Chain A
Amino acid sequence: MSRAPGLLPLEPALIPTSWDFDLERPVLANLHGDYGYLGEGYYRSLDAEFAGHQVVPSVRDALDALVVPIALLRAAAHDVGVPESEIVTDRFPPAPLLAYPVNPFSTHGEHLEDAAAIESRRKGLTYTGKYAVHCQLLPPDHRIDVVKVVVGRCTVPEYEAFARSLFACFRLPLMKVRVIVTTPAYLLSAIEPLPFRQLAPVDRALLEGAVPWPG
């Protein structure tokens, strides 16, 4: 099965206690995986909201997760680690940093290693100062990991707790997470789409027991 299934009810035991849902009714998981604004996955959630279902993500959740500066504010409010960051249009903080555009045309983040990289990309990222860029400062001795989180589960053991906290915070059944790893902490950098078709068999196995999965 490569086409995304519809909305499937989440196993109640997987629903974080912090979610404000009526647990007498099913909580539906939208497994499209790409909840980008005005895309098919986004409209599946919107259609479900109009039909009166309890659905994750809601379109509000989806936008909170995918607009990077909002995601970091929401994460910080849920005690998820985040990097030091700043929104700029012109004067970038010192490299190294991760720079995410804030505009309707591009969400792709860029790793800017040094001052020369910043200078060469400054105008392109900001459309010559028209749009903002969310800059995340990279601490010394960091590395960047990208992990898949499937209904709060992760196939990488060291990320299991982090994956659970991200699912509780953002309510995205499928997400790819960019993480800044430092010695003391995991810091959320960005949440990216994880389209259902990109799930490997090992990722799909995480859905077994989480939703009524055909096996």
Chain B
Amino acid sequence: MARLAIFTERYTIRSSIELTALSNFRMAAFELDHELDFIFKNELKYLKNYDAVLIRALTDPLNTSYVVARAVEMLGRRVLDTSDSIRICCDKVNMYGRLDAAGVPIPVTRYLAPAEVTPAAATLLFETLGSPLVLKAPNSSFSAYVDKVTTTEAFVRVGRRFLRRADRLVVQQYLPSEFDWRVITLHGRVLAVVQYRFARDAWKAMQRGDAGESAVTTCMSRHEAPARLLEVAIKAGAAIGDSLYGVDLKEIDGDFVVIEVNDNPTIAATEEDQANPEIYTDIVRYLVDGPASFAGRD
């Protein structure tokens, strides 16, 4: 029997489907004869009591979740997410750099320092990457601080606003689509496959439509997903590390392009677990036994 903990925070349990997912993790642990406690940020001195920790809280290298990851690692115990994954995925310069170095298909991407965010640079980028361009602050999340621009004036204005958050700006070619794929992977294994179909007139998953509607989440069995989708997603995850990832991809002309790799992917009851209810058990087993937990299973 292992003693497991989920580090979580109050905003993670504000919605019923996220709360139910946390409960599902605990039930999965109980079914496997393990103990599982929830632990909050004023209880970190008790981390040493646990064999492994799952982080289900907003991750950022300057937040408590990163302290949890590093503390558990220094104790020599298993943690999801690993601190390396948090650090890499929370900085898009770091993340895209690793995907690019590993030969993972991504949109054409440029990184600008503050002095490079000028009308002249914008003009050149529109000429080479097309219009619109997508600007991202390196530490954007949940589609915030990601914007689409079509003019040099907007490029400079939005770019300089994003530079208040970091000393680099990410500029990418725009790839239109009606939905994103999300493949949840753990140590090179696919746990779930999801489509986020955008709201009407929206161009990113977290953006609401004109009528206030959200993206629609549809889950499919990993056994029914396109093989090439899974291949690209696994390669993207491997470029980052061996932790738990949500790989976002777009289908372009029959192939797949990675839009980003997220650490700490959302796992909400009735959404990401729709077609893969074993996702909770898969993660609990991994926390206890590591990659050996996959042995003998497809």
Question: Smallest distance from the beta carbon of B242 to chain A beta carbons, Å?
Answer: 16
Can you list 13 A-B contacts (CB < 8 A)?
A37-B62, A39-B167, A40-B167, A46-B97, A50-B101, A60-B84, A63-B66, A63-B87, A67-B67, A77-B74, A86-B45, A89-B41, A103-B63
* Residue B91 CB within 8 A of the other chain: yes
Say whether B67 contacts A69, CB under 8 Å.
yes
- The chain A residue sitting closest to B86, CB to CB, is A63
Bound form: Cα–Cα A89–B87 in Å: 24
Say whether A87 contacts B64, CB under 8 Å.
yes
- The chain A residue sitting closest to B67, CB to CB, is A69
From known contacts A39-B167, A63-B87, infer whether A132 and B62 are also in contact, taking CB-CB under 8 Å: no
* Residue A104 CB within 8 A of the other chain: yes
Question: Which positions 53-85 of chain B face chain A at CB distance < 8 Å?
Answer: 60-64, 66-67, 70-71, 74, 83-84
Bound form: Cα–Cα A90–B43 in Å: 11
Say whether A70 contacts B71, CB under 8 Å.
yes
Using a Cβ–Cβ cut-off of 8 Å, how many residues does chain A contribute to the interface with B? 30
Residues of B within 8 A of A86 (CB): 45
Bound form: Cα–Cα A15–B62 in Å: 29
* Residue B223 CB within 8 A of the other chain: no
Say whether B62 contacts A102, CB under 8 Å.
yes
* Residue A64 CB within 8 A of the other chain: yes
- The chain A residue sitting closest to B84, CB to CB, is A60
* Residue B205 CB within 8 A of the other chain: no
* Residue B204 CB within 8 A of the other chain: no
Partner of A87, one of B67, B84, B166: B67
Question: Smallest distance from the beta carbon of A81 to chain B beta carbons, Å?
Answer: 17
Say whether A104 contacts B168, CB under 8 Å.
no
Residues of A within 8 A of B83 (CB): 60
Bound form: Cα–Cα A67–B42 in Å: 17
Partner of A132, one of B41, B93, B165: B41
* Residue B139 CB within 8 A of the other chain: yes
Residues of B within 8 A of A64 (CB): 70
**B contacts with A: majority SS:** helix
Question: Smallest distance from the beta carbon of A94 to chain B beta carbons, Å?
Answer: 16
Bound form: Cα–Cα A155–B60 in Å: 36
From known contacts A86-B45, A87-B44, A103-B62, infer whether A73 and B74 are also in contact, taking CB-CB under 8 Å: yes
Say whether B167 contacts A74, CB under 8 Å.
no
* Residue B237 CB within 8 A of the other chain: no
Bound form: Cα–Cα A87–B60 in Å: 17
Residues of B within 8 A of A74 (CB): 74
Bound form: Cα–Cα A70–B167 in Å: 24
Residues of A within 8 A of B71 (CB): 69-70, 73
Question: Smallest distance from the beta carbon of B7 to chain A beta carbons, Å?
Answer: 12
The 5 closest A-B pairs by CB, nearest first: A38-B166, A104-B62, A89-B42, A132-B41, A40-B167
Question: Smallest distance from the beta carbon of A63 to chain B beta carbons, Å?
Answer: 5
Residues of A within 8 A of B97 (CB): 46, 50
Bound form: Cα–Cα A12–B283 in Å: 45
Which of B44, B62, B83: most chain A Cβ within 10 A?
A: B62
From known contacts A46-B93, A59-B94, infer whether A131 and B64 are also in contact, taking CB-CB under 8 Å: yes
Bound form: Cα–Cα A73–B67 in Å: 10
- The chain B residue sitting closest to A105, CB to CB, is B62
Question: Smallest distance from the beta carbon of B249 to chain A beta carbons, Å?
Answer: 23
From known contacts A70-B70, A87-B42, A89-B41, infer whether A104 and B166 are also in contact, taking CB-CB under 8 Å: no
A38-B166, A87-B44, A103-B62 known, 4 other contacts, Cβ within 8 Å: A46-B91, A67-B70, A69-B71, A102-B67
Question: Smallest distance from the beta carbon of A87 to chain B beta carbons, Å?
Answer: 5
Partner of B66, one of A39, A67, A88: A67
Question: Which positions 91-115 of chain B face chain A at CB distance < 8 Å?
Answer: 91, 93-94, 97, 101, 113
Say whether A73 contacts B70, CB under 8 Å.
yes
Question: Which positions 137-178 of chain B face chain A at CB distance < 8 Å?
Answer: 138-139, 165-168
Partner of A38, one of B63, B66, B70, B138: B138
Interface string of A12-51 (1 = CB under 8 A from B): 0000000000000000000000000111101100100010
Bound form: Cα–Cα A67–B63 in Å: 9
Bound form: Cα–Cα A38–B168 in Å: 8
Residues of B within 8 A of A104 (CB): 60, 62-63
Question: Which positions 90-138 of chain A face chain B at CB distance < 8 Å?
Answer: 90-91, 102-104, 107, 131-132
Bound form: Cα–Cα A77–B66 in Å: 18
Question: Smallest distance from the beta carbon of B215 to chain A beta carbons, Å?
Answer: 26
Interface string of B113-142 (1 = CB under 8 A from A): 100000000000000000000000011000
